[in-house]
Amino acid sequence: MPYGLLAALAAAAIPTLAALTASARPGPAGTIVFYLSVVVNEAPFLWLAWIGSATALTWMLGGLTPVGAASAAAVALGLAELVRRGAKARRVLERAMEPVRMPRRVPYGRIVFGPLLRRRSRVEHLADLAYGPADRHRLDLYRLPGATGGPVLVHFHGGSYSAGRKDSQSLPLLYRLAQAGWVCVSAEYRLRPAAGFADHLADAHRVVAWIRTHGLDWGADPDRIVLAGSSAGAHLAASAAFTADCSRLPDVEAVDLRVSGVIGFGGYYGTYYGQGPRTSPAGLAGPAAPPCLIVHGDRDTIVPVADARRFAEALRGVSQQPVVFAALPGGQHAFDLCDSVRFAAVLDAVEAFTAAVLPVRPGGQARPAPHAPPP
């Protein structure tokens, strides 16, 4: 087999094998598997194009051997299995969302040809708006120019509370909802070690207060806010939502910090670096917790899916609102990285979930709330 084709196949085969064999293995091994597999797991069509081009070029140059062709076919079959697993997410989410029906909006062109492309036509991206005095008190806002009265989605990035930035995660979600008339916010917050849990929580409350105070100026409906987050951002979103009546920020005491829903992608829901139950969403939740949509990959090697399932069970035990949990077949951590078959189904579930739980505007019609069978 020519060395060029061998190198091309190895570059695709190694991450594909990591994605196919991934299981819940937190720690250094799980982290290595995550970094190897996360992109190929959500964008397998890029790797299919890669090995297809390498194989075709080798054939045109007269160097394709039966072993080379068989090896390329084996890698392609592995990638096809990743596509199949991603497609299974829709049925899982449909069952979790019953009786609410999910729409079906799958951007096949973008998924196949440009899954890592970020921008969307028509959506206005306003960067680095200040919501507080600190350097990290910055947010990006996504909206349609001239939009008015749109509900608000706030997304908090992951990064173990120690890293991350506001323009790196769940961008397909922000653009999808912005195109539908939402005002979407991606916010940064102060990081460890300079900041602790109380600081992170205060920053999240500041973002909600900023929307309540200034949302109308940006075309938003400040009475309809949903908090979302990825990984540690899901921890922060849930914690902020569950403590809306407990803010100690003197400059926002008179502001209503309650939100209409919480969405978590691949979330960590345990205690904050072992500091006790009052630093975990489960320890902060009560009967007034808003509706929650918890989505996790069943092959997550950073945060085991069992942890997210236990959180959903605990939340159902105290909350009076719907708690929807879905474990995505074949899903790894950071499945919200780009446009994919899997994340397209998640976005449809988000659209259905938010339509069901957001307050009904005057003249609107109430929709049934989702309920889920025990996970």
| Unique residue bearing structure tokens 């900041």 | 195
CATH value at residue 176 = 3.40.50.1820
CA atoms within 13 A on the CB side of 78: 23
Number of domains in the chain: 2
Of the candidate ranges 24-33, 104-113, 250-259, 271-280, the one whose mean pLDDT is the lowest: 250-259
Catalytic: which of 37, 71, 186, 231?
Answer: 231
Tell me the C-alpha distance between 222 and 89, whole Å. 32
Biggest CA–CA distance in the chain, Å, is 75
pLDDT band with cut points at 50, 70 and 90 for residue 215: very high
Candidates 221, 298, 300, 336; catalytic one: 300
Question: At residue 118, does pLDDT exceed 90?
Answer: no
Q: What is the pLDDT of residues 334-364, one digit of tens each?
A: 999 999 999 999 999 999 999 999 987 654 4
Per-residue model confidence (pLDDT) at position 369:
52
Is residue 373 predicted with pLDDT exceeding 70?
A: no
Same domain? For 188 and 56 the reply is no
Q: pLDDT for 248-265, tens place per residue?
A: 565 655 788 999 999 999
Query: Sorting pLDDT into bands at 50, 70 and 90, what band is 374?
Result: very low
Q: Does residue 16 carry a pLDDT above 60?
A: yes
Kindly tell me if the per-residue pLDDT of 311 is higher than 90.
Answer: yes
> Is 270 in the same domain as 139?
yes
Residues 350 and 328 in one domain: yes
Q: 81 and 127 in one domain?
A: no
> Does 231 qualify as catalytic in the annotation?
yes
pLDDT at 372: 44
pLDDT of residue 370: 60
Q: How confident is the model at residue 193 (pLDDT cuts 50, 70, 90)?
A: very high
Q: What is the rounded average pLDDT of the residues 58-80? A: 95
| Secondary structure of 220-288 in HEC code, one letter for each residue | EEEEEEEEEEECHHHHHHHHHHHCCCCCCCHHHCCCCCCCCEEEEECCCCCCCCCCCHHHCHHHHCCCC
Q: Which of 9-23, 107-121, 148-162, 230-244 has the lowest mean pLDDT?
A: 107-121
Instruction: Examine residue 369 and state whether it is found in any structural domain, yes or no.
Output: no
Residue 120 has a pLDDT of 81
53: containing domain: 3-87
190 touches 249 (CB < 8 A):
no
**What does the pLDDT read at residue 255?**
85
Q: Are residues 310 and 339 in the same domain?
A: yes
DSSP calls for 132-200 = SSSTT-EEEEEE-TT--SEEEEEEE--STTTS--TTSS-HHHHHHHHHTT-EEEEE----TTTS-HHHH
Marked catalytic residue, from 186, 333, 336, 348: 333
The answer to the question of residue 363 being in a domain is no
Mean pLDDT of 145-149: 89
pLDDT at 247 over 70: no
The answer to whether residue 172 scores a pLDDT higher than 60 is yes
Contact 157, 229 (CB under 8 A): yes
Distance CA 37, CA 39 (A): 6
Give the mean pLDDT of 61-79: 95
The answer on 64 and 158 residing in a single domain is no
Active site residue 333: yes
Count of residues making up the chain: 375
